[in-house]
Amino acid sequence: MKRGRLNPISEKRRTLIPEYNKLIHRLRIMCGNQSELSGKNPNWESGYLVDPHHIDGRRGKLFLDPFNIIMLIRTEHDIEEGKIKGKKVGKEKLIAIVKKIRIRQGFTPND
């Protein structure tokens, strides 16, 4: 699958990258490096690491919101983003799934 060119990163976003990387590393450990949707293990396509999927986008505060990030295997991630054919779970259901998981992991919602 051909991927498009990445957009340049703003200075504001660049300052958030270290915090984002720590959060993703923490979430990977908490999920046991398995999909939080299906429980499947990642394969070589993603370097044997689950991918963070931002359910409702990466804008503003959503970038670092653990309730907006679900860890998926590459195939599930590509289906949810519409890159490959498959049955999408949908934003509402993903948000409900991830909310239960994050509360169980000790995160508190910012609602």
Domain coordinates in residue numbering, the chain? 33-105
Torsion of CA 65, 41, 48, 14, to 10 degrees: -10
Q: Are 72 and 49 in contact (CB under 8 A)?
A: no
β-partners of residue 71 are 52
Q: Is the pLDDT of residue 111 over 60?
A: no
Instruction: Provide the mean pLDDT of the chain.
Output: 92
106 pLDDT more than 70: yes
pLDDT at 57 over 70: yes
Q: Please state the pTM of the whole predicted model.
A: 0.87
* Structure token pair of residue 97: 């799934």
